Amino acid sequence: MIDIKFLRENPEAVKDNIRKKFQDEKLPLVDEVIDLDRERRDNLQEVETLRANRNKASKEIGTLMAQGKREEASKIKEEVAASKSKIEELSAREKEIDEEIKKRMMVIPQMIDPSVPIGRDDSENVEIQRFGEPVVPDFEIPYHTDIMESFDGIDLDAAGRVAGNGFYYLLGDIARLHSAVLSYARDFMINKGFTYVIPPYMIRSAVVDGVMSFAEMDAMMYKIEGEDLYLIGTSEHSMIGRFVDQIIPESEMPIHLTSYSPCFRKEKGAHGIEERGVYRIHQFEKQEMIVVCRPEESKEWYEKLWSYTVELFRSLDIPVRTLECCSGDLADLKVKSCDVEAWSPRQKKYFEVGSCSNLGDAQARRLRIRIQGEDGKRYLAHTLNNTVVAPPRMLIAFLENNLNADGTVNIPEVLRPYMGGKEKLVPKH
């Protein structure tokens, strides 16, 4: 949510930003907010005038009564009563206006960074850089669930009977590999100076409103029936929610945390062969990075965060690339975002395994997360988040890039302590 003062003073800039995001249907909202804001400020001024006149009249009544001028005092009392009624009417309208303004401001997109490329959707995202040499081996690489099944490592049929499509059982070495990757990612981030956190897996609606747009919430979140609770789609939601209504001393900045959680999402892709298996699912686990910092620090942290993900994937012998998300692919609260994509030698292309986002002060404004400077002044924090790893999707990249012709899977050196010292996984059939 942008600053209403900024919108008031720069309506054309806000409209231009909406056009860059190809959301022209939202353009009328800017003028509506300006009109409502003007009415609100006029109402406030009128209320202040009425209150001042009422206070003055109250004093006059006392004077007139003391002088025995009851008739004159009675007339002024009638005027005071009418003034009180008008104040109540205007105050009620003020609340209505505030709600109308908030409703519109919540869907007007955040101002994007000038460096963001302009494009309609993810097909117009821009490749920034590649890390590692993508290799296509001289043997056929099976589909990822077929690789897992060779280790007796996955059971989708049983999961379908128990929970429906979009769920899975991981077993044996594949389940251990899944946990090993998460444990390695946890320690990787701790060694970068991040504090490890396990957050709540459910959050209240007020926090949901603070961390994401309505469109994202509707597409992603599972609601707990009969409760004011939602299952988190990513630990970023409850991690940022931790700071709601907090005033944080500037001396504690920046706050950098890495969190583990299961994640629950309604969305499940159904377009093409790559949507089968465990590519898009309702439940998965993830290691996340969260940063709360001063506004002037957020650009530097953005560059650090995505580079950590690249470094981790390269340590597991997985080639990756980074893509700058174009304007039309940015969620409404994001200032700037990039995706990290891993190489799939089977598909002979890259696919998304993580996303890094700078949200500026959007979440902080909604959740009232403020920093208090040494001079006592308070200002909004900036928030960022980034995926460290999100298995089992990450396992697809791992298995394909570390698969040998004989069906064995190499375990990179950094992961061996988490796999009982194993250097290879050997298929059972």
Of the chain, the percentage scoring pLDDT greater than 70 comes to 93
Distance CA 404, CA 424 (A): 10
pLDDT digits (tens, 9 = 90+) for 79-102: 767 777 788 888 888 889 999 999
Mean of the per-residue pLDDT values of the chain = 92
Distance CA 331, CA 383 (A): 14
> Using 50, 70 and 90 to split pLDDT, how confident is the model at 272?
very low
pLDDT digits (tens, 9 = 90+) for 53-63: 776 776 666 66
Q: What is the structure's pLDDT at 64? A: 63
Among 403, 411, 345, smallest CA distance to 134 is for 345
405 or 49, higher pLDDT: 405
| 3-state secondary structure (DSSP) of residue 422 | coil
The structural domains of the chain, with segments of one domain joined by +, span 4-105, 122-425
Can you read off the two tokens belonging to residue 132? 């590692």
Q: pLDDT at residue 268 above 50?
A: no
Q: What is the structure's pLDDT at 273? A: 45
> Using 50, 70 and 90 to split pLDDT, how confident is the model at 264?
very high
| 3-state secondary structure (DSSP) of residue 349 | strand
Q: pLDDT at residue 413 above 50?
A: yes
pLDDT digits (tens, 9 = 90+) for 275-284: 568 888 899 9
Q: What is the structure's pLDDT at 84? A: 78
Pairing mode, if any, of strands 336-344 and 349-358? antiparallel
Q: What is the structure's pLDDT at 224? A: 94
231 or 216, higher pLDDT: 231
Distance CA 137, CA 141 (A): 8
Superfamily of domain 122-425 in CATH is Bira Bifunctional Protein; Domain 2 (3.30.930.10)
Q: What is the structure's pLDDT at 275? A: 59
Average pLDDT score over residue span 309-336: 97
> Using 50, 70 and 90 to split pLDDT, how confident is the model at 274?
low
Q: pLDDT at residue 7 above 50?
A: yes
pLDDT digits (tens, 9 = 90+) for 144-182: 999 999 999 999 999 999 998 889 999 999 999 999 999
At the topology level of CATH, where does 4-105 sit? Helix Hairpins (1.10.287)
Out of 23-27, 72-76, 121-125, least confident range? 72-76
Distance CA 77, CA 62 (A): 10
Using DSSP, how many helices (H) and how many strands (E) does the chain show? 13, 18
> Using 50, 70 and 90 to split pLDDT, how confident is the model at 429?
confident
Residue 291 Cα distances to 71, 294, 301, 339, 361, angstroms? 68, 10, 8, 17, 12
Residue with tokens 């957050």: 199
